[in-house]
Structure 1
Amino acid sequence: MTVLAPNESVSGSEALAGLAAMRADAAPLTGKHPDHTFRPLSERLAQWATDGIDTALIRAGIEGTRRRYSGYGLTRMLPLDRVLVGCESTRAGAFGGFHHPDQGYRHFQMVAVITMFGPMERPNPERPSLALLDLLRAYAHDCLHYGSRRRYVEVAGMPVRTQYGINFRRATGQSYSASDERGTPHTRNLGIVMEGACDREARSITRHAARLFGIEEPPDVLGALAFRDVTGTLTEADTTRVLDVPESEEQTRYAAALAGYEKGVDRRYAHFLKEFACGEEHECHTRLLAAIITGDMSELVAWLDARHGPGTFAGLFRTPGYFQPGLAA
């Protein structure tokens, strides 16, 4: 196993040893889901193919993701054996997918924990095409988290993250960017901006794969919501309706989590692009992604300054009183 992701750096031998130890054991993550059985993505895909499921969609999607991300400066993709896919659950009514609780990429362990979309009591997906699209969205999303610039320093012999993408944090815990006020449609939080940028890119990849393989929207309500979610085509009505699945409390919660993520992350990021890059959303988005991956903010900062005046980035995102020597913003 390679201890560090492609754009990570660590100061201090004890911090590096600490990361290596955490990255050798994913049990603290999978242990949060004792009802599910987790296998590496490579094993899941091989088993599904053996059982007659056509996995060409996700394999083509992964290769397309690799080519696309190389253009942003990401030289190495998240290894498939660092992606753990859960299913075969012993919990009656278990329902998985991108919005399953307590999953995603975890930087300390350098592992992505995700679940198979749909009913999880089985080893194979109930709806293979939709499950593969959901899996591709999750993988493309987590590859960007894996490949983002990340810097650790040693504090009392332990690794402490002081940079993630275009956001910074003092070793004492103070963040460069503050949380948004509850209920605001816009965002001034760099965590939301980076999460939204990663998901916008992942959904674009998934939308292309759905078109390429001719995957159509399912006729049922939850299936349609999930398809629109992974392809980035949710409507305003989709996020305001309350979907109650009487026979499944987990499916009801899943639909609510889906709508909450759309409103709390994706819509806020789209609002940010419209606010500060109206008519140039794609140009701003690509500069954001490149900066998140490489940690080099100079082009992004200059691009924003040219349109909104000097100091735009810091004026939007920097918490009062925060200062870090050498930081471009």
Structure 2
Amino acid sequence: MTELAPNESVTGAKAMATLAAMRADVSPLTAKHPAHVFRPLSEMLSRWAAAGIDTTPFHAGVENARRRYVGYGLAKMLPLDRVLVGCDSSRAGAFGGFHHPDQGYRHLQMVAVITMYGPMERQNPENPALALLDLLRAYAHDCLHYGARRRYVEVAGVPVRTQYGINYRRATGQSYSAADRRGSHHTRNVGIVMEGACDKEARAVTRQTAERFGVAEPSDAPGSLAFRDLTGTLTEDDIRRVVDVPESEEQTRYGAALSGYEKGVNRRYSHFLEEFAPGEGSECHTRLLAAIISGDVTSLGAWLDDRHGPGTFTGLFRTPGYFEPGLTA
């Protein structure tokens, strides 16, 4: 397999061959979840439809995402066969969804590994409407990762990523921006900003789909929390709530992961927009996504400079040691 994602580039024939080999065999990723059975998303949707589940909301949501993403410069969505969905788990009490451990888009393999929301010891979801929305959120999110600008250089025959969206890394591993301090409510990490932008967009698509098809918020506490999470309507009380499901250790962990992601990514991104684009959050968000897809920060940087002075982007995100003497950009 030699296919690249829409905005990827690889320097070096050996690096390209290594990348192709990794993309031809994704078993190392699914092997991390030995209890689950993984099937391509296209097959999973067909199975659910054959079982009488109406998958129309998912397909309609994808079409909405496709139209929106074209406006950011992304003309191709992540192929459904490059999305592997886990279910039929042999692990007692297995619980899946967007916050299941060790899942998501993997750029080296160019594949997304996700799980069916809810109890996983089955082929079909316990709550089909909620599972389809969760699947849509994950897919819409991972399409943006798939379509982002990504550049690899060859180091000892191995592809090393030096750019992802508007984030950069030297071949030696030095990152453009530093990690946020633990417990921080704001962010100065460009990786968090990009992750937050992707998820804000994915949740907007999911929320619109839920509204269009009249999907109601579940009455049970875990389901209600999951619905608010995937539609981007979590309250402060929601994220402070301690989810304790005595009969399900995995659901308890899932609730903790949900809250941690909301606080560590989505709330930090919201604070970023409030700080640097008050009253213009939607415009800034749009420019951020366009920059992530193209990898060109020029327009976004100029927009920020007009509001906060010259060099705002580098001043916000670049770690002081990134351009040390003797190092090249």
Gaps of 5+ in 2: none
Report the alpha carbon displacement of residue 321 of structure 1 after superposing the two structures with TM.
Answer: 2.3
Looking at structure 2, the residues matched to 322 and 26 of structure 1 have their Cα atoms a distance apart, in angstroms, of: 34
Q: Distance in 2 between matches of 1:190 and 1:33?
A: 30
Q: Secondary structure at the match of 2:321?
A: coil
| Contact kept in structure 1, 2:61 and 2:136, CA below 8 Å | yes
- What is the aligned partner in structure 1 of residue 95 from structure 2? 95
Kept after mapping to 2: 8 A contact 1:11/1:154: yes
Q: CA deviation at 1:2?
A: 5.2
TM-aligned CA deviation for residue 152 of structure 1: 0.2
Q: Determine whether 1:14 maps to 2:11.
A: no
Using the size of structure 2 for normalisation, the TM-score is 0.98
Matches within 5 A, 1:222-237: 222-237=222-237
Shift of 1:173: 0.5
Q: Which structure 1 residue ranges, 5 or more long, are not aligned?
A: none
- What's the Cα RMSD here? 1.1
- 2:258 aligns with 258
The aligned counterpart of 1:105 is 105
The equivalent residue for 1:238 is: 238
Q: Following superposition, which runs of at least 4 residues in structure 1 exceed 4 angstroms of deviation?
A: 324-327
In 1, are the aligned partners of 2:206 and 2:231 still within 8 Å (CA)? yes
Aligned mates of 2:223, 2:192 — CA distance in 1:
26
Tell me, yes or no, if the aligned pair for 2:112 and 2:142 is still in contact at 8 Å.
Answer: yes
**2:189 is aligned with 1:189:** yes
Are 1:310 and 2:310 an aligned pair?
yes
Task: Tell me, in whole angstroms, the C-alpha distance in 2 between the residues paired with 1:199 and 1:326.
Answer: 32
In structure 2, what is the equivalent of residue 176 of structure 1? 176
What's the secondary structure of 1:159's corresponding residue? strand
Q: Which amino acid aligns with 1:57?
A: P
Q: How far is 1:196 from its partner?
A: 0.2
Residue equivalent to 2:210? 210
Within 5 A, what are the aligned runs for 1:289-300? 289-300=289-300
- The C-alpha deviation readout for 1:3-45, integer Å capped at 9, x for no partner, is 2100000011011111000000110100000000000000000
> Tell me, what secondary structure is at the counterpart of 2:323?
coil
Q: How does 1:69-88 map to 2 (within 5 A)?
A: 69-88=69-88
Distance in 2 (CA, whole Å) between partners of 1:239 and 1:276 is 24
Q: Deviations over 1:51-85 (max 9, x none)?
A: 10000000111111111101100011000000000
Deviating more after overlay: 247-256 vs 1-10: 1-10
Whether 1:164 aligns to 2:181 is: no
Distance 1:27 1:173 in 2: 26
Q: Is the 8 A contact 1:3 1:19 kept in 2?
A: no
Per-residue CA deviations over 1:127-155 (Å, capped at 9, x if unaligned) read 00000000000000000000000000000
- Note closer, same or farther for the CA distance 1:75–1:2 as it changes in structure 2 (3 Å cut): farther
- Paired with 1:303 and 1:195, the residues of 2 have a C-alpha distance of 20
Give the CA deviation at 1:212: 0.3
Q: How far is the alpha carbon of 1:243 from its aligned partner?
A: 1.3
SS at match of 1:321: helix
- Residue 66 of structure 1 is matched in structure 2 by 66
Secondary structure in structure 1 of the residue aligned to 2:320:
coil
Structure-to-structure mapping, 1:108-123, within 5 angstroms:
108-123=108-123
Task: State the identity as a percent.
Answer: 76
Letter in 1 for 2:9: S
Instruction: Please give the alpha-carbon distance, in whole angstroms, between the structure 2 residues aligned to 1:102 and 1:172.
Output: 25
**Distance in 2 of aligned mates of 1:131 and 1:318:** 39
Distance in 2 between the 1:46 and 1:119 partners? 20
How far did residue 312 of structure 1 move?
0.4
Counterpart contact for 1:149–1:295, Cα < 8 Å? yes
Residue type of the partner of 2:38?
F
**Secondary structure at the counterpart of residue 306 of structure 2:** helix
Look up the match of 1:267: 267
- Helix, strand or coil at the partner of 1:203: helix
> 1:294 and 1:326, CA in 2 relative to 1: closer, same or farther beyond 3 A?
farther
Asked if the contact 2:2/2:16 (under 8 Å) is kept, the reply is no
In structure 1, distance between residues paired with 2:31 and 2:328:
40
Q: Deviations over 1:73-103 (max 9, x none)?
A: 0011000000000000000100000000000
1:32 alignment partner in structure 2: 32
Deviation at 1:323, TM superposition (A): 2.8
Q: Could you tell me how far 1:322 is from its partner in structure 2?
A: 1.4
Quote the offset at 1:195 in angstroms: 0.3
> Secondary structure in 2 aligned to 1:191?
helix
Change in CA separation of 1:192 and 1:25 when aligned onto 2, cut-off 3 Å: same
